[in-house]
Structure 1
């Protein structure tokens, strides 16, 4: 059975086409321009534009011991050693190495609607790699819901500074710039638009890899070839998260409107 939000959005799409292609005045242009189904709360949130004006982009920092915190790491690299993983090509292994960080359980419903950015400080030993982020809502019993994703090829890390804003990086993808092996670079990934409410007791989990798992709770729902191409070479990644290299996920927290 299809969910009610899906049916409602499907109906609105057809009425939008009726208005613009057939000239049928069905009232669709009098409705809010944006309607978002919010995972977690399962509410429909409407607005006049995207992104919503009542959003505040705030960072969550990657910390030692796989923690995700509103506060940055205060110590240097000598005390906050980088995380690392080695990924062999999927031609010789079917195991995808994954690093993960998670928040403490939320104590009150926390809503996020919009797009975001991930700032990673990484060193690799090859001229290129992939950075793949997946953000999950993890319930107290361990059940997980994929919230959104972010992807970046290291050689396409260039940003258009004039078009990039906080929480919304813009990559022109006009050329490839190989990475200098052994050099620490900042990589800014665009976190795809999403809407989610993290309920009390739930955690936000961020996973990093350079390939996509061939099969897991999310990918089992996708068509057989709906994956990004793997790197095809062995790559060692070192992810720095110290005072000089503050890796963070910048997310669109909705503002709390004071009651009158």
Structure 2
């Protein structure tokens, strides 16, 4: 048997030699003590640390924690690149619910065995780290991946955890959502349930690295941090406004070279593969899951305003659901949260307040009963096929399928209007703006700090009035609604536009405009403020023009030619209330979150030169022959 280091909260035996309590000391007695066991005999939990061997001999650092007296209990596993030691050591408390994260409280109190593991190459685990390690196949000929590591881990745990009932569930958000999905590919027989939350699924189409071909600059600092010293890395570039920092650097490639980041292999993977080739498409987890049989009951979770991985969970649901013949193996949950918000407090997001702690409510009423049923034999909770939180009216709702609404086109109109009536004029009615790469539209009010969590986490609910007054942002608005409009699904953009350049980006925002006089959503601060006139984004997305004829076929745009750009906004459940207005904004940059498009076609935008960045006249059409619209998935 592989030797284990067991840490039990039973005694002080692990304290290395020190003075006996009665021994006389002098002013010069050395005060250093070799170690001190922070888990005291009065602790209400047991904690173990193991190095679990994988099939290739690599050993993975694994922490197991449970309440004292736990027996015949299920294991709840998370596989992480973000430090398993920290997950089970958040404080020096002797209470298990103060040592672990808030999302674990209800499970540990109910005698679950909680296990956290560092994936290979990260923190205390052995081996090499590969970001989103591809599944064994065309891109990975080693026979080792996150699926095999999950299998080997589960196999070891059920054999070496005497308190276990032999059943395992897996859960995790973001990268941990990715490893959760990987565990479902050729799963271990003991794996009985999975909850992938905001999983990283397709980093090019709509998750972390690109969105529809536009590069996300915050990927750079993430790559540096993850790839340095087993995950301990940090960038040191100061506190300058990132808007200025990236603008002054030039291209994103120039920024990478300026700070010496070009030596990082994952950054080279990004830079060398700007288009959707096999390099990315063969890694796409939704495409892999579409080919896999349904073996593990799966609850997919995402936040409606997930600023990092809004694409993944709905994409996997779409891939898996057709195989769910009885509508009881795969479910989708969309909550009113930011990225990974399901595992934190869900009272509010930015300036929005909800009814109670929506995250805890979901975990207690839906997620834990789901695990209890499959891992503890509890009665079937009849998990809803689709569970979403209707923002605007603040209530959980159940649907039998997703999307639940029926598409109805909301058309851009002359005089900056919006209407469900299609334009009737057959002429080339359009509006124009000048997109200047030297003055890109910021994605949040300046100053911009991409690594500031206070700005980053709620940015998708940022009041858009800061942008709607700019001359390079087109604004289309309806009249005040006389009745509510409820949407359930992903609004779909159908934009007819032309540019005077040979490349360009197109950003579309769907916005809920609050009345100018309202007491809705009161927020408490130094003074009480309402959301009067608030422009709440319901969905924001970007599309890189060069890919209009295929993500794997970048090509120059023909100046002046009207092209049709079709892409989806994030999946939502939202009610536009009476008295509110619908708004659509169109622009050509979201900087510096997304890199600037030079608007002159170059082979690789990472290496665009200063002379490539040119102003362009952008025309957005709203005629009978070119009817720009956003389709809303409306439910009655």
Instruction: Tell me, yes or no, whether TM beats 0.5.
Output: yes
Q: How far did residue 34 of structure 1 move? A: 1.5
1:107 pairs with 2:498: no
Change (3 A) 1:93 1:83: closer
Alpha-carbon contact 2:440-2:589 (below 8 Å) kept = no
1:2 pairs with 2:383: no
Separation in structure 1 between the aligned mates of residue 507 and residue 426 of structure 2, nearest angstrom: 26
Change (3 A) 1:236 1:35: same
- Report the equivalent of 1:35: 387
Alpha-carbon contact 1:124-1:181 (below 8 Å) kept = yes
Separation in structure 1 between the aligned mates of residue 589 and residue 440 of structure 2, nearest angstrom: 13
Separation in structure 2 between the aligned mates of residue 229 and residue 28 of structure 1, nearest angstrom: 48
Change (3 A) 1:10 1:125: farther
Alpha-carbon contact 2:512-2:536 (below 8 Å) kept = yes
Q: How far did residue 48 of structure 1 move? A: 2.8
Q: 2:634 aligns with which of 243, 253, 260?
A: 253
Q: How far did residue 132 of structure 1 move? A: 0.8
Q: 1:176 aligns with which of 549, 554, 565?
A: 554
Change (3 A) 1:60 1:47: same
- Report the equivalent of 1:147: 538
Separation in structure 1 between the aligned mates of residue 382 and residue 402 of structure 2, nearest angstrom: 17
Q: How far did residue 117 of structure 1 move? A: 1.2
Deviations 1:42-66 (A, max 9, x none): 12111233222xx211011110110
Alpha-carbon contact 1:90-1:230 (below 8 Å) kept = no
Separation in structure 2 between the aligned mates of residue 59 and residue 97 of structure 1, nearest angstrom: 25
Separation in structure 2 between the aligned mates of residue 157 and residue 13 of structure 1, nearest angstrom: 40
Q: For structure 1, which runs of at least 5 residues remain unmatched after alignment?
A: 160-172, 215-224
Change (3 A) 1:91 1:144: closer
Higher helix share: 2
Deviations 1:94-116 (A, max 9, x none): 77821010111110121111012
Q: How far did residue 86 of structure 1 move? A: 0.7
Change (3 A) 1:198 1:57: same
Deviations 1:13-42 (A, max 9, x none): 46656767xx33455762212211111111
Change (3 A) 1:180 1:18: farther
Alpha-carbon contact 2:490-2:572 (below 8 Å) kept = yes
Separation in structure 1 between the aligned mates of residue 406 and residue 440 of structure 2, nearest angstrom: 44
Change (3 A) 1:155 1:17: farther
1:44-83 aligned within 5 A: 44-52=396-404, 55-77=405-427, 80=429, 82-83=430-431
- Report the equivalent of 1:163: none
Separation in structure 2 between the aligned mates of residue 47 and residue 252 of structure 1, nearest angstrom: 13
- Report the equivalent of 1:236: 617
Change (3 A) 1:28 1:140: farther
Alpha-carbon contact 1:33-1:49 (below 8 Å) kept = yes
With structure 2 as the length reference, what TM-score do the two structures score? 0.33
1:172-211 aligned within 5 A: 173-211=551-589
Deviations 1:106-150 (A, max 9, x none): 101211110121111111122211111111111111112211123
Alpha-carbon contact 1:210-1:230 (below 8 Å) kept = no
**Equivalent position SS for 1:101:** strand
Bigger relative contact order, structure 1 or 2 (CA pairs below 8 A, ≥6 apart): 1
- Report the equivalent of 2:184: none
Higher strand share: 1
Change (3 A) 1:36 1:74: same
Q: How far did residue 151 of structure 1 move? A: 2.0
RMSD between aligned residues: 2.5
Separation in structure 2 between the aligned mates of residue 175 and residue 207 of structure 1, nearest angstrom: 28
